[in-house]
A and B are shown apart, each in its own frame.
Chain A
Amino acid sequence: MSSEVRVLGRTVSAAGLIAAGSVVAAAALTVALPFMLNAFWLSTLVFILIYAIAALGLNVLTGYTGQVSLGHAFFLAVGAYTAKVLGGDHQLMALIWIPAAGVVAGLCGLIVGPVALRLRGLYLAIVTIGIVFIGQHIFLNVDSLSGGPQGTAIPSVQIGAGAQCQPSCSVDFSQGTSLGGATIDHNALYYYLSLFILVLGMLFVRNLVRTRTGRALQAVREREVAASLMGINLVRTKLAAFVISSFLAGVGGALFGSYLSFVRPQSWDLILSISFVAMIIVGGIGTVWGPLLGAIFVAGTPTVLNHYADSVPFLQHGSSSGGLSINEFSSIFYGALIILFLVLEPRGVVGLAGRAIALAQRLARGPAIPPSTPLPSQQSA
């Protein structure tokens, strides 16, 4: 049987070839996507990527370290307002204010951390709800920072910024640009930028979990007392998780605000926080791909439902006096989907994908086995 081929002098299994081929194809598709999608889908995708960046951070804290936080929205807000102050008020470059948004949010994590460190489990979850409320209160009252209830503009990303540079070498992300005849609009620019940052973040997290620090995080999740006996510094480990989480939230918040170009304090609410928790749980908690898959599900489902609601006959637009409106229908559907999904596959999309891959592998190996004679091992499985 030859399910193996020789490539460049090395023996590669058919399954390996298929896998490598799909990775290349997926990468190519990812790069080409902006040219294949219309503005609606592309902008949905940008939101998904930005959410995924922030969710990646929460996953370090909640998924790997086991500290459930409902305060993520606050750190996104800190990131967005940092962008506003540095990029808007002080006209600094995006190359500075994007990382700075992460750093400032991380510092806030460092300040909030010690309070949270004393708490366990759901106590922590509820205290972080408090952070969201208190944060919102501050933002609503400090007009110079947030514009008060009316909101404030967040600068767009500019590369090669400022008056020193010729227009040809600077790119304003709100305007779009053209590259070798192809126009890249502002959605596409934010798409590539967010994608780039997300990939960096995912690589960072993937490497992090393999380091000493990463293993310490996971030890804390498994058994706090035992971890401290193993000589892990609980305070430092949890603080590290808090800071990493807040950093990524800050970066995500800056991009979020910048892409929207205008934010109001009311947007950084508990519902936003909850949707990040939903992302990492639905995606697959404590996995590298979970946040992205979860973001696709959580941010994508309502958008898609709203988009296609027109073709569902019994729905009506914007009702305030009863009757099933599109928003309500999509909410009900979305809530029910979360319930159903987690009941059927508590390990989330990643768990589902794992099953699918296992199935695919079995099918890929399939030709080696005559279909008419099932193996005993398969019967018992």
Chain B
Amino acid sequence: MTTFYQLLFSGFALGCVYALVALGFTVIYRSSQVINFAQGSLLALGAYMVSWFAIDKSLPFGLAVLAAIGVCVLVGVVFQRLVLRWVAGQPVFVIVMITIGLSIVIDASVSAKFGANPRLLGDPWSSSAVHPGGVTLIWAKIWTIVTVFGVLLGFFLFDRYSRYGLAMRATAADEEAAMAVGVPTRRVFALAWGVAGAVATVGGFFLATFPNQLDPSISAVALLAFPAIILGGLDSPAGAVVGGVTIGLVEELTKGYQPAHASWLGTNFYVIAPYVVMILVLMVKPYGLFGRAPVERI
């Protein structure tokens, strides 16, 4: 039973990170119906920036995180203002391809600056832990859960009650109508990219605390958030959170039990387990658990 609780805990912590990554996707998808393939690269950039500010620039860790968030928000906003505004109205896959271009540029820039070797994050927790009832709770993961919940709460309050949160929802619902009633939609799009950059940073550095080191492969993790956003429905931030946590649990539980109980599924099956779950869910609900079918007019 201890194993089970242990897996539950780490699955939940991992799921929280996926939830953040997925939130980044949905915020942008909601505002412009585009999947941002550079989300994983932003996440890597954020994590490397935390490490750079904390270790190379010797900033206190909290400050390093804030500075890194600043960098990623800036990259997101500048990209939106400088590049994406020119392709508004183009087919979605053209815009998706442009975000893939951005991801190639960021990934290569990060590895040009920091190299391929793993480096330390500079976080204050290292591997310290508490042990209630035989279960090892690593502080880094506890902090992940706490912080992620804080960030998510903050986002939902913002989305629900603030002026710009309302503006984001209005723009998502009907861009032209939002413009017509006076919502500065261009600022809203930039804001969406800013939010995506910020949550990517937070997700990135928590992800890097798990093995407590940082290497370029971290940007691939965003790919694992895809099943999360699909499960939750592309346009539902709340769904993104549920989907993220689900996927984290699926992954960790599979990692823990599959090798012993279903070894015929092959080694490292946990890597694709989220995708298998996703496909199974989609066969039943084609728009995810929380997504809605768009109303089609003829």
Separation of A126 and B94 alpha carbons in the complex (Å): 16
A196 CB, nearest partner CB in chain B, Å: 30
B-contacting residues, A206-238, CB 8 Å: 223-226, 229
The reply to whether A339 and B112 form a contact with Cβ atoms under 8 Å apart is no
Q: Does A41 have its Cβ within 8 Å of any Cβ on chain B? A: no
Residues of B within 8 A of A331 (CB): 104-105, 107-108
B279 CB, nearest partner CB in chain A, Å: 6
Separation of A381 and B223 alpha carbons in the complex (Å): 46
The reply to whether B93 and A115 form a contact with Cβ atoms under 8 Å apart is no
How large, as a class, is the contact surface on chain A?
A: 35 or more
Given A121-B92, A130-B275, A321-B117: A343 in contact with B97 (beta carbons within 8 A) = no
Residue in B closest to A123 when the chains form the complex, CB atoms: B230
Stretch at the interface among B70-78, B165-173, B176-184, B261-269: B261-269
The reply to whether B286 and A342 form a contact with Cβ atoms under 8 Å apart is no
B145 CB, nearest partner CB in chain A, Å: 26
B218 CB, nearest partner CB in chain A, Å: 16
Residue in B closest to A323 when the chains form the complex, CB atoms: B112
Residues of B within 8 A of A140 (CB): 266-268
A70 CB, nearest partner CB in chain B, Å: 10
Residues of B within 8 A of A323 (CB): 112, 115
Separation of A43 and B12 alpha carbons in the complex (Å): 49
Find B103's partner among A115, A130, A335 (CB 8 Å cutoff).
A335
Given A274-B100, A334-B104, A346-B87: A322 in contact with B115 (beta carbons within 8 A) = yes
The reply to whether B278 and A127 form a contact with Cβ atoms under 8 Å apart is yes
Find A134's partner among B111, B112, B113, B272 (CB 8 Å cutoff).
B272
Q: Does B116 have its Cβ within 8 Å of any Cβ on chain A? A: yes
The interface bits of chain A over 261-273 (1 if a CB of B lies within 8 angstroms of the residue's CB, else 0) are 0000000001000
Residues of B within 8 A of A202 (CB): none
The interface bits of chain B over 269-298 (1 if a CB of A lies within 8 angstroms of the residue's CB, else 0) are 101100110110011001110000000101
The reply to whether B97 and A126 form a contact with Cβ atoms under 8 Å apart is no
The B interface is mostly helix, strand or loop, or mixed, namely helix
Residues of B within 8 A of A327 (CB): 108
Separation of A322 and B288 alpha carbons in the complex (Å): 42
B-contacting residues, A110-156, CB 8 Å: 115, 118-123, 125-127, 129-130, 133-134, 137-138, 140-141
Residue in B closest to A223 when the chains form the complex, CB atoms: B298
B36 CB, nearest partner CB in chain A, Å: 11
Q: How many residues of B contact A (CB 8 A)?
A: 54
Most chain B beta-carbon neighbours within 10 Å: one of A129, A226, A323, A329: A129
Q: Does B90 have its Cβ within 8 Å of any Cβ on chain A? A: yes
The A interface is mostly helix, strand or loop, or mixed, namely helix
Q: Does A325 have its Cβ within 8 Å of any Cβ on chain B? A: yes
Separation of A343 and B79 alpha carbons in the complex (Å): 12
A46 CB, nearest partner CB in chain B, Å: 24
B286 CB, nearest partner CB in chain A, Å: 5
The interface bits of chain B over 123-162 (1 if a CB of A lies within 8 angstroms of the residue's CB, else 0) are 0000000000000000000000000000000000000000
Residue in B closest to A282 when the chains form the complex, CB atoms: B97
Separation of A377 and B94 alpha carbons in the complex (Å): 33
Q: Does A328 have its Cβ within 8 Å of any Cβ on chain B? A: yes
Residues of A within 8 A of B227 (CB): 126, 130
Residues of A within 8 A of B286 (CB): 118-120, 123
Most chain A beta-carbon neighbours within 10 Å: one of B226, B227, B267: B226
A98 CB, nearest partner CB in chain B, Å: 30
Separation of A181 and B272 alpha carbons in the complex (Å): 54
The reply to whether A342 and B97 form a contact with Cβ atoms under 8 Å apart is yes
The reply to whether A332 and B112 form a contact with Cβ atoms under 8 Å apart is yes
Q: Does B98 have its Cβ within 8 Å of any Cβ on chain A? A: yes
**Can you list 14 A-B pairs with a CB-CB distance of less than 8 A?**
A118-B283, A122-B33, A122-B35, A126-B229, A126-B278, A129-B226, A130-B276, A130-B278, A133-B272, A134-B272, A320-B115, A324-B112, A342-B87, A346-B91
List the 10 closest A-B pairs by CB distance, nearest first.
Answer: A335-B104, A141-B266, A331-B108, A338-B101, A130-B275, A335-B105, A339-B101, A328-B112, A322-B115, A321-B115
Q: A interface vs B, CB < 8 Å?
A: 62, 68, 115, 118-123, 125-127, 129-130, 133-134, 137-138, 140-141, 223-226, 229, 270, 274, 277-278, 281-282, 285, 319-325, 327-329, 331-332, 334-339, 342-343, 346
Q: B interface vs A, CB < 8 Å?
A: 29, 33, 35, 37, 83, 86-87, 90-94, 96-98, 100-105, 107-109, 111-117, 223, 226-227, 229-230, 234, 266-269, 271-272, 275-276, 278-279, 282-283, 286-288, 296, 298
5 additional A-B pairs beyond A122-B35, A277-B93, A322-B112, beta carbons within 8 Å, are: A130-B278, A223-B298, A270-B223, A281-B93, A320-B117
